[in-house]
Structure 1
Amino acid sequence: MMKKLTVAAAVMSALIAAGCSNDSSEQKSPVESEKAQSIESVDGANGTDTKNDATASNPFFEEWDTPYGMPPFDQIKDEHFKPAFERAIAEVRIEVDEVANNPEEPTFANTIEAMEYNGKLLNKVTNVFYNLTSANTNPTLQAISKEIGPQLSSLRDDVNLNENLFKRVSALYAKKDELGLRSDQMRLLEDSYKSFVRGGAELNDEQKQKLRELNKKETQLSLQFAENVLAETNNWELVLDKEEDLAGLPQWFIDASAKTAEERGHEGKWVITTHRPSKDPFLINSTRRDLREKVYSGYTNRGDNDNEYDNKNIAIELAALRAQKADLMGYKSHADFVLEERTAKNAENVSELLDQVWPAAIKQAKAEVAAMQEMINKEGGDFTFAAHDWRHYAEKIRKAKYSLNEEEIKPYFSLDSTLQGVFYTANRLFGMNFEERFDLPKYHEDVRTFEVKDEKGELIGIYLADFYVRDSKRGGAWMNSYRKQFVTEDGEFVKPIIVNVLNFPRPVGDEPALLTFDQASTLFHEFGHATHGLLSDGVYPSQTGTSVPRDFVEFPSQVLENWMLEPEVLGKFAKHYKTGEVIPQEMIDKIQAASQFNQGFATTEYMAATLLDLAWHTQEVGDEIKDADAFEKAVLDEVGLIPEIAPRYRTTYFSHIFSGGYSAGYYSYIWSEIFGADAYQAFRENGIFDKETADKFVEYILSKGGTEDPLELYKKFRGKEADPKYLLKSRGLID
């Protein structure tokens, strides 16, 4: 059964989700209020007719009598969301007023815990709605999101700017050391107080009104940005109608492109799209340089085509709004405001890290360009190497240097076998066991569901996996939750329901889905996030699971990636899908030798996006940006980005920062990788499946969530601070 959650957490997570958070983490926690608010009174406050059949039969207004309290996806219809949101918002307002206007003296229980365990319906609705708008959206859900987003923004402001509520929290904060709180309770109180202050509670009335206006506009623009990226990605296609257009393409890809063409109404032809499972194999394999350029251009110009889906002006306006908000709150820039709550603390520390990595990365990237131009010259190519050539010639050099062919590797990495490799690793490290269920509710036929149990057979949680690319799903890969782990006021331990969403190519015909090495690594990565959610062991929902700073949340997932390259793990799952042959040791050796290949490109394209993010969000009020493309070019020219590499995300489709939760935070991936590389060193030193090390990793990292300072938790695990040298070594940027 789903029980209780937090008003503050529910509202904040809804707003993050409304901005299309694309990270592999989430900040939501499910709740169930024990308040006996009648349906009639809440609907009456909203002007809703409770006798209406659609409202009366709304699944969100009922207890879910499903296995493990999972959402009854088969019963939930699009028309149920809007009335559910309206009632949920009304309930939250009632609950907040009850806490804020409580005549009793404020206590931790009647103020902090009361807010933490309110907001049942809102949490219930947002967990389903925003998971679906990311993974299985449609025009109706998109329209509801546009309508509800500003309402949630207004609700968040109403909570943060409630003077009576802030007085109660402030009174408790002032005497926090006298309350006899546990460490997690102390952190919850401190975080609650800071949340109000950072939400504008100390502003004057005029400033509060201005903040409301800025928040509402930011929400609207973020939603529009995300919709534009999805539309641009789905709309672009390259239709091939001649056999010669298929030069260099493997048969499996030709078959998949023919299927895409059929689905898009181009019978007898082949279609290439800007979805990664289509774009990347084409850029790698196609020997038609002219067509590679078209596909590359289609991808990198998304949102920058001066059409109805153009995002240039939206990016400018979002950056300006955020600068105004930061100024209103007394900060120099949006980056200063954001980083104060991250483990990095400030932009100077981020810049210091980037300054350590960038010179080595760009130097290596230039060497890689020279090597590829040399290959072109030897082949008699009469042209200068360009950005749209990179993946094609990088693959050629990899084959030549390491005798490693991606098409030879893929048969050993079927999706099913790789998933078993993930499960094997989780079992050896954490004692997790997975049993697939075929009778549990799911939101799409592609989804697979698993019971996760410990070594004693006790349920840990439910794991959902949604693997295949489709037009209703945004790009990328992520983890989220339909229910977080937490403990109710009555002491009931609520088990989590975790989902991984990816965008792998669909199987064609009788063949299984075969993954590239990078795609297989992505599955390990995202499951690292899943373990963070599944092995959570906290009390308060706003602190459990992946409720940690953005620049720490990627750390557990990056650690898990390392096991995929271990021979013992590869030997367990990397088996040829036809013959069952275990991947040859010779091929494992080649994979390991090539693991640092092309890191100049990979690091540079990522770093360029990171620097672009910081440039947008270190803008101050009065720093007028008139042309997004010109601004982007100036930033990248200044740092010396070579023309053969584009940022991993250009401004106009940089959803992480303009419609997600990573504004001024895209650096988080490489920042977290410092912890990841250093943590894996502990396993290297003690044994990759050393039980004591794995148990400490669960105790201090995976189970703790946001109950303690993450840097202190890391030191408890490792016995010291993380050393950046292991990151640079892992990328081959230093010896």
Structure 2
Amino acid sequence: MMSVSALTAEQAANPLINPPKTKFNMPAWDKIKPEHFEPAIEWAIEKAYAQIEEIKAVSLGDANYENIIEAYEFTGQDIGRIVSVLSYYTNNAITDELVDIEVEQGAKLSEFSAKVGTDVDLYERIKKVAKSDAPMNDVQRRLTDKAFKGFEEGPLSLGAEDQKKYLELQNELSRKTAQFGKNIKNHMDPSHKYGLKVVVPKAEIATRLAGVSADALKPFTDEATGDVIIGALPESMDILEQCQNRETRKAIHTNWTGRGNIGALNNDALASDIHHLKQQQAQLFGYDTVVDATIRPDKRAAGTPDNVLNILHRIRDVAFRASKDIYDKILVEAAADGITTYDADADDAARLCPWDLAYYANIVNKKAGGIDPEEEKKYFDVPVVMEGLKRSMKRRFGLVLEETKDFKMPHEDMQVFYSKKPSGEVDGIFIVDLYQRTTKRGGAWMDQMRPAGMVDGEWQVPITLVNCNYGVDKKSQLISFDSVETLYHEFGHGAHGHFSQKTPYQSLNSINISWDAVELPSQFNEVFAGLRRHFNSYARHAETNAKMPKKLYDKLTETKPSLQLLRQNEFGMLDLELYSNPNKISSMTAFNKAAFDRTQLIANKTDNVMVNQFSHIISGGYSSGYYSYVYADFMVSAMEDLFEKHGQKAVNAFKREFVSIGCLKTASEAFDNIYRALGEPVQPLSPDGYLRKNGYGKYLDAADAEGTSGPNVPFSFDFKRP
């Protein structure tokens, strides 16, 4: 960092430019204000340009690893530091002002990246080192190849006019993706003028919300009026499991699915524009579509689009058959209320509708001996679950978490944990933000705020941000087992980011690996939440402290076909069909409905569609990559087999060969090394093994008997229902 004496008085007073001294260089959250970001980013960009000029001042004859590659790696670290703080605020403490700042500064950062990425003098020096015969160790070679490939595949490969076009497209993408997310956030905030909500006056609760427990309504109950105000929040779906009033169920479901689809905040045109901008960028680089640019053997563990599509077709065929059986069981229970069909042409009064599924599925589950959702939650109190998670992370990964009050955080809900080595030395920081707020984006996620590495000559421990969105009564803090698994999932990502500390370089210690493998640590960590002995240590009844009876535990954790597999497959198919289409799409709503109509057994007769709220593939990083969740399931299934055979040795090998490796190896190589470390032959990943192990065997057999999917059946987005 520049010395304080080199700064103006205004810069020296800016906590993002001249951060106050804090433990482990944690951001000074209590001093940062929105007006600090613009001058800080401008300062950081100016500093980075100066660093680039120093690199270019090295003659080609004197170019070597240290003065070119390593110097380039350390360039712009202040930009990353400041942007990570801005990213926190635009996700966890969103305001319209901050979103506008993000858009405006994003344009400046895009211009900076484009200028650096098209700097011929800089490229020539990086190329000189990359092509030289100078000896390098594996880490140095990896960093050099990464820098060289970034230029070879970046905007430098374009002509002057296309470089200008690339920057224009990037700026438009930054602006439109920010607006896409902003619209969804505002729809989810019931206090916003465009916020979506279902209001049930206190006097009507008994009839309109009949069957819904007081605990389920607490997070939505206005303390002053007693009215229930249900926003477009994930927790509103829990009410559907209990609500006997069908009209109320419809209102709540329509409200939830209305995000990004209704009124002034309708995202249809934005989603279409974003899709088209991404396709134009891919085409600038010589690819037909985003799918072709993204799913390549050098970028994705799955290898090729054909391989991914054949996998999804196999799963679609099998999951559709299983889902039909599940819907038939649901229909048996719904018949008592006059609902006798899921034929799309039937009248809604007799047709099983989307807002009915959770309610009747809950009845089916309870009749089969499953636990009532409200009773289930009584076993999972957030603070107790958190203690169980900490024990699991220590047992499985050697990750010791100790809460600290050393930092003043932006919100009182946030907890901070040190990760400590056996010696007591702090080797990482976890910021944990578990609860829902109207200023926080929905969902659950992990952010590698600061990868480990050298910054300004000083080793920086990693800072990892773990987010959930528990909409709970803070006095009871009771959640479902699905929510428990979500916490373990995000801490699996967190462990991945935390343990990547093998090099001095933040870019190699990041978890920016093949996108279809990045979900492996998170989904594998979910497995440990359900191991019976560990489960008993944290799953205690809130009123009696009793363990969950084995019969209920078995039902809760049993492996069986579910509607979730077809749902995830539909999302993955939608993503790939969308980004396989090179043309401008006039109506994303119509496109989505046509895609889902192939496999949806319960017809959606509204204009509320997934794509207009699908942040992962529209404004996030999962374009042509949502299949990753399904693909990671195959990897997790393989890890479960190794764990069953080798026990903790398999987890140790997983940590050593995959979780701790960062970007030093490809994800496929790192995964195969787990087998090698255990003395096992490397096994190819296959959907069939995963499906059979998870209860889909008879549906696989039926698909094979009818020849509707498999290695010899060509893929098509069109689907002939079995």
TM-score (norm 2): 0.89
Aligned to 1:8: none
Gaps of 5+ in 1: 1-32, 41-49
Aligned to 1:322: 278
Specify the SS of the correspondent of 2:396.
helix
| 1:119 matches 2:81 | no
**How big is the shift at 1:583?**
2.2
- Output the amino acid matched with 2:584: E
| 1:67 matches 2:23 | yes
Aligned to 2:685: 723
Specify the SS of the correspondent of 2:464.
strand
| 1:640 matches 2:594 | no
Asked if the contact 2:19–2:27 (Cα under 8 Å) also holds between the matched residues in 1, the reply is no
Specify the SS of the correspondent of 2:419.
strand
**How big is the shift at 1:726?**
4.4
**Structure 1 residues 238 and 173: CA distance shift in structure 2, 3 A:** same
Partner of residue 208 from structure 2, selected from 230, 245, 259: 245
Equivalent-residue separation in structure 1 for 2:20 and 2:609 (angstroms): 41
Aligned to 1:87: 43
Asked if the contact 2:44–2:79 (Cα under 8 Å) also holds between the matched residues in 1, the reply is yes
**Structure 1 residues 532 and 93: CA distance shift in structure 2, 3 A:** same
- Output the amino acid matched with 1:149: G
**How big is the shift at 1:524?**
0.8
Which deviates more, 647-656 or 460-469? 647-656
Asked if the contact 1:575–1:583 (Cα under 8 Å) also holds between the matched residues in 2, the reply is yes
Partner of residue 557 from structure 2, selected from 583, 592, 605: 592
**Structure 1 residues 668 and 275: CA distance shift in structure 2, 3 A:** same
Which deviates more, 296-305 or 566-575? 296-305
Give per-residue Cα distances to partners, 1:616-666, cap 9 Å, x unaligned: 21122xx232121112222233x4333347999711011111111111111
Specify the SS of the correspondent of 1:498.
strand
**How big is the shift at 1:507?**
2.2
**Structure 1 residues 107 and 207: CA distance shift in structure 2, 3 A:** same
Partner of residue 311 from structure 1, selected from 258, 267, 273: 267
Aligned to 2:375: 408
**How big is the shift at 1:679?**
1.1
Equivalent-residue separation in structure 2 for 1:529 and 1:447 (angstroms): 18
Partner of residue 67 from structure 2, selected from 106, 110, 124: 110
Aligned to 2:292: 336
Partner of residue 606 from structure 1, selected from 568, 571, 576: 568
- Output the amino acid matched with 2:585: I
Aligned to 1:21: none
- Output the amino acid matched with 1:469: Q
Aligned to 1:685: 645
Aligned to 1:650: 610
**How big is the shift at 1:483?**
1.9
Q: Residues 444-593 of structure 1 correspond to what in structure 2 (within 5 A)?
A: 444-487=411-454, 493-508=459-474, 511-539=475-503, 540-593=505-558
Asked if the contact 2:488–2:526 (Cα under 8 Å) also holds between the matched residues in 1, the reply is yes
Equivalent-residue separation in structure 2 for 1:617 and 1:435 (angstroms): 44
Aligned to 1:430: 397
Equivalent-residue separation in structure 2 for 1:439 and 1:580 (angstroms): 32
**Structure 1 residues 648 and 353: CA distance shift in structure 2, 3 A:** farther
Aligned to 1:267: 225
Asked if the contact 2:4–2:18 (Cα under 8 Å) also holds between the matched residues in 1, the reply is no
Specify the SS of the correspondent of 1:685.
helix
Aligned to 1:615: 577
Aligned to 1:297: 254
**How big is the shift at 1:330?**
0.7
Specify the SS of the correspondent of 1:140.
helix
**How big is the shift at 1:556?**
0.4
Aligned to 1:361: 319
Aligned to 2:346: none
Aligned to 1:189: 144
Once superposed, what is the RMSD of the aligned Cα atoms? 2.1
Identity of paired residues, percent? 27
Equivalent-residue separation in structure 2 for 1:160 and 1:703 (angstroms): 29
**How big is the shift at 1:529?**
0.7
Partner of residue 188 from structure 2, selected from 225, 233, 236: 233
**How big is the shift at 1:63?**
4.2
**How big is the shift at 1:159?**
1.4
Equivalent-residue separation in structure 2 for 1:227 and 1:172 (angstroms): 44
Could you list the structure 1 runs, at least 4 aligned residues long, displaced by more than 3 angstroms after superposition. 35-40, 378-382, 487-490, 643-649
- Output the amino acid matched with 1:330: G
Equivalent-residue separation in structure 2 for 1:119 and 1:228 (angstroms): 31
**Structure 1 residues 410 and 722: CA distance shift in structure 2, 3 A:** farther
Equivalent-residue separation in structure 1 for 2:697 and 2:56 (angstroms): 56
| 1:660 matches 2:620 | yes
Give per-residue Cα distances to partners, 1:254-285, cap 9 Å, x unaligned: 22221xx34xxx723111111112x1111211
Aligned to 2:115: 158
Asked if the contact 1:237–1:271 (Cα under 8 Å) also holds between the matched residues in 2, the reply is yes
Gaps of 5+ in 2: 190-194, 340-348, 677-681, 699-722
Asked if the contact 2:446–2:466 (Cα under 8 Å) also holds between the matched residues in 1, the reply is yes
Equivalent-residue separation in structure 2 for 1:313 and 1:39 (angstroms): 47
Asked if the contact 1:605–1:648 (Cα under 8 Å) also holds between the matched residues in 2, the reply is no
Equivalent-residue separation in structure 1 for 2:136 and 2:303 (angstroms): 26
Partner of residue 333 from structure 2, selected from 372, 375, 399: 375
**Structure 1 residues 227 and 332: CA distance shift in structure 2, 3 A:** same
**How big is the shift at 1:730?**
5.0
**Structure 1 residues 729 and 184: CA distance shift in structure 2, 3 A:** farther
**Structure 1 residues 730 and 402: CA distance shift in structure 2, 3 A:** farther
Specify the SS of the correspondent of 1:570.
helix
Give per-residue Cα distances to partners, 1:33-60, cap 9 Å, x unaligned: 5x669745xxxxxxxxx344xx431112
- Output the amino acid matched with 1:631: F
Which deviates more, 90-99 or 515-524? 90-99
Asked if the contact 1:481–1:497 (Cα under 8 Å) also holds between the matched residues in 2, the reply is yes
| 1:629 matches 2:597 | no
Specify the SS of the correspondent of 1:553.
coil
**Structure 1 residues 722 and 529: CA distance shift in structure 2, 3 A:** farther
**How big is the shift at 1:357?**
0.9
How many residues are paired up?
A: 670
Asked if the contact 1:545–1:702 (Cα under 8 Å) also holds between the matched residues in 2, the reply is no
Give per-residue Cα distances to partners, 1:307-345, cap 9 Å, x unaligned: 331211111111111111111101111111122222223
Specify the SS of the correspondent of 2:368.
helix
TM-score (norm 1): 0.87
**How big is the shift at 1:301?**
2.6
Equivalent-residue separation in structure 1 for 2:420 and 2:47 (angstroms): 36
Q: Which has the higher contact order (CA 8 A, sep 6+)?
A: 1
Equivalent-residue separation in structure 1 for 2:509 and 2:683 (angstroms): 23
**How big is the shift at 1:694?**
2.4
Equivalent-residue separation in structure 2 for 1:516 and 1:309 (angstroms): 31
**Structure 1 residues 139 and 624: CA distance shift in structure 2, 3 A:** closer
Aligned to 1:734: 697
Equivalent-residue separation in structure 2 for 1:730 and 1:65 (angstroms): 53
Specify the SS of the correspondent of 1:675.
helix
Asked if the contact 2:462–2:498 (Cα under 8 Å) also holds between the matched residues in 1, the reply is yes
Specify the SS of the correspondent of 2:260.
coil
- Output the amino acid matched with 1:643: I
Equivalent-residue separation in structure 1 for 2:285 and 2:4 (angstroms): 36
Asked if the contact 2:261–2:608 (Cα under 8 Å) also holds between the matched residues in 1, the reply is no
Equivalent-residue separation in structure 1 for 2:635 and 2:398 (angstroms): 23
Give per-residue Cα distances to partners, 1:105-132, cap 9 Å, x unaligned: 3222222211111213212211111012
| 1:349 matches 2:307 | yes
Asked if the contact 2:258–2:608 (Cα under 8 Å) also holds between the matched residues in 1, the reply is no
